[in-house]
Amino acid sequence: MAVERGLGDKRRVSTRLSKIGIPAQALNVLGGVLLFAVFCGLFAVVQFATPALAGNDGYYHIKMAQLIRQQGITPPFVWLPMSILSADAYYNHHFLYHLYLSLFVPGGSSVGPEVLAARAKLASVVMPSLAFVAIWWLMRRQRVRWSWAWAVGLFATSDAFLYRMSMPRAQSASLLVLALGMHLMLERRYRLLLPLGFLYVWLYNAFPLLVVVALVYGLAVFGLEGRVEWRPLVAVAVGIALGLLINPYFPQNFNFIVSHILPKIGDVGSHVGNEWNPYQTWTLVENSGGALVLCLIGVFALGWREKRFDTATLFALGLAVIFGIMAFKSRRFIEYFPAFALLFAAFSVSAALKDVQIRWPRWAIAGGLALILAFPLTRSILRAREALASSTPRDTYAEAATWLAESAPPGSLVFQTDWDDFPRLFFYNTSQVYTIGLDVTYMQLYSADLYDEWVDITRGRVEQPGRVIASRFGAAYVFSDLEHEDFMREAQNDPALREVYRDDDAVIYEVRP
């Protein structure tokens, strides 16, 4: 049988290695290290297409990491006083991720923005590479044939997936946690799910996804074995509960979850920000066609083998379906769907080939797999690199933010006309505080009336808005990009607003009460 032949080959290789003093376990570690190096190299190709960071939020995250290095693990957060992240209510829902980023930040206060951004990019190469290694290890432990090739194939699934994995944000760390959780469930090492759930709460506010994974696993076991496997779900739930209770931000974390996270569950497509919008169908086909093809391959392999599901395959199929639906509703979930689509295909194909004899030499198999991967992998990497290269330049708002830091009194409140300008302003200038940032709903939840006034002002609906900005918001300065033409037209006719700075990216007004 092919399986016996494969096991025999492995035993012979292990015997040869033992004779020269290399144990098989060391070879596994070496294989993981080599794959990690390959993954880092491929992610670096994407990441260093530009000095800029992918997206906007990464500037906030790496600046928080620098503050942690300078002020301790829980620095006071005073920069968004008119939000649910005000100083007395602040909850760092990326706490462990910021600690991770801080490992890459040099000590001292003289670290410039160029160095800080470069370190964020380095961290954003390492973390997704670790996630991909975890997925390789999961497949290897499940005896997936050519697990190394499947793991490298992650780079061929979706350029949108690679782009989001390259962001200095916690989604790559989240994928790492979910892969580890899946591994522990399939290995039936349920007790370790408790500390994993605990750490996930401290890492990222997507921790309910681990509950979803445990539920899907329980359904897979029940469907195949007819028994209720409750232990993984209980371990995850207890770990999450402990992570919420034993938390450096307790009880602010509960307030944040109730007011912000819970309303988003089940309503992923209705929130501000492009990442919450759904893909157009053909766009999804173009940027994630590899993942969709893998789903079809997995289904075809199931039909070809004409046998019952095994737990791993059904488990992966359930997760691929769930994350696929989420990706159709909101493009941000493309950060999970391709990985689980590949796992489903890998488990399904490997099981279908279990009894198939392959007499080709190993070098021929490796070469054939490399040829199969060459085109889709190159295409996805180049498209992701192109997307990252088109990012807004790193130094956008740098001069304006520096002018504010040097000219405005420390602690002055800056009124912005766009909520997503905050990360870059914060990155370059922590001397001032800001009206809105990170998520537009943070101000809306803090005060709906205040938020409505902010919207009306920024869209040019308020004539001579300077006095309202001073009285209602207490702002001393207004910062605006040059695209808010309606607001700028009102500001030009307002004696309470005096233009004090302008460049190619932004304009700043001083507010005269």
Whether 249 and 281 map to the same domain: the answer is yes
Asked which of 342, 357, 389 is the last residue of a domain, the reply is: 389
Say if 188 falls within a structural domain.
Answer: yes
Whether 495 and 437 map to the same domain: the answer is yes
The answer to whether residue 265 scores a pLDDT higher than 50 is: yes
Whether 349 and 443 map to the same domain: the answer is no
As a whole-number percent, the residues of the chain with pLDDT over 90 amount to 67
Whether 489 and 442 map to the same domain: the answer is yes
Determine how β-strand 413-416 pairs with β-strand 433-434: parallel
Whether 437 and 464 map to the same domain: the answer is yes
Question: Given this model, what pLDDT does residue 453 score?
Answer: 95
Say if 215 falls within a structural domain.
Answer: yes
Question: Given this model, what pLDDT does residue 2 score?
Answer: 38
The H or E element spanning position 387 is helix 362-389
DSSP codes, 461-482: -SSSTHHHIIIII--SEEEEET
| In 142-280, alpha helices (H) | 147-152, 159-165, 171-186, 193-203, 208-225, 231-245, 252-256, 262-264
One-letter amino acid of 236: V
Whether 126 and 225 map to the same domain: the answer is yes
Whether 379 and 452 map to the same domain: the answer is no
Whether 266 and 206 map to the same domain: the answer is yes
Question: Given this model, what pLDDT does residue 272 score?
Answer: 54
Question: Given this model, what pLDDT does residue 40 score?
Answer: 97
Query: What is the tens place of the pLDDT at every residue in 159-213?
Result: 999 999 999 999 999 999 999 999 999 999 999 999 999 999 999 999 999 999 9
| In 142-207, alpha helices (H) | 147-152, 159-165, 171-186, 193-203
Determine the Cα–Cα distance for residues 503 and 112; give it in Å rounded to an integer.
Answer: 22
Quick one: tokens of 159? 């350029």
Determine the Cα–Cα distance for residues 280 and 211; give it in Å rounded to an integer.
Answer: 29
Whether 335 and 368 map to the same domain: the answer is yes
To the nearest 10 degrees (0 to 180), the angle between helices 208-225 and 231-245 is 170
Average pLDDT for 402-415? 95
Asked if residues 166 and 159 have their Cβ atoms less than 8 Å apart, the reply is no
Say if 84 falls within a structural domain.
Answer: no
Spell out the long-range contacts of 460-464 with Cβ–Cβ below 8 A and sequence spacing 24 or more: 460/484, 460/485, 460/486, 460/487, 460/489, 460/490, 461/486, 462/490, 463/490, 463/493, 464/490, 464/493, 464/494, 464/495, 464/496
Quick one: tokens of 12? 């012979």
51 preceded by cis ω (within 30°)? no
Output the CA angle 129-134-13, nearest 5 degrees. Answer: 105
Question: Given this model, what pLDDT does residue 4 score?
Answer: 38
Helices (H) and strands (E) in the chain, counts: 23, 5
The answer to whether residue 8 scores a pLDDT higher than 50 is: no
Determine the Cα–Cα distance for residues 381 and 42; give it in Å rounded to an integer.
Answer: 8
Say if 103 falls within a structural domain.
Answer: yes
Higher local confidence (pLDDT), 388 or 373: 388
The H or E element spanning position 46 is helix 24-47
Say if 1 falls within a structural domain.
Answer: no
Say if 29 falls within a structural domain.
Answer: yes
Asked which of 333, 363, 389 is the last residue of a domain, the reply is: 389
To the nearest 10 degrees (0 to 180), the angle between helices 171-186 and 231-245 is 140
Say if 488 falls within a structural domain.
Answer: yes
Whether 374 and 452 map to the same domain: the answer is no
> Which of 93, 60, 79, 98 is CA-nearest to residue 248?
93
Question: Given this model, what pLDDT does residue 287 score?
Answer: 64
Average pLDDT, the chain: 87
Whether 340 and 457 map to the same domain: the answer is no
Query: 305: pLDDT confidence band, cut at 50, 70 and 90?
Result: low
Asked if residues 426 and 58 have their Cβ atoms less than 8 Å apart, the reply is no
Asked if residues 212 and 340 have their Cβ atoms less than 8 Å apart, the reply is no
Question: Given this model, what pLDDT does residue 429 score?
Answer: 95
Whether 480 and 347 map to the same domain: the answer is no
Question: Given this model, what pLDDT does residue 26 score?
Answer: 74
Determine the Cα–Cα distance for residues 43 and 448; give it in Å rounded to an integer.
Answer: 42
Total domains in the fold of the chain: 2
Q: DSSP label at 195?
A: H
Say if 37 falls within a structural domain.
Answer: yes
Query: What is the tens place of the pLDDT at every residue in 319-370?
Result: 999 998 888 887 777 889 999 999 999 999 888 777 666 666 665 666 677 7
Query: What is the tens place of the pLDDT at every residue in 428-463?
Result: 999 999 999 998 889 998 999 999 999 999 999 999
Question: Given this model, what pLDDT does residue 326 score?
Answer: 87
One-letter amino acid of 279: Y
Asked which of 344, 364, 389 is the last residue of a domain, the reply is: 389
The CA–CA distances, whole Å, from 268 to 159, 330, 506 equal: 22, 6, 32
Query: 371: pLDDT confidence band, cut at 50, 70 and 90?
Result: confident
Is the dihedral angle over the CA atoms 355, 360, 363, 369 positive or is it negative? negative
The answer to whether residue 242 scores a pLDDT higher than 50 is: yes
Q: 293 lies in which domain range? A: 25-54+91-389
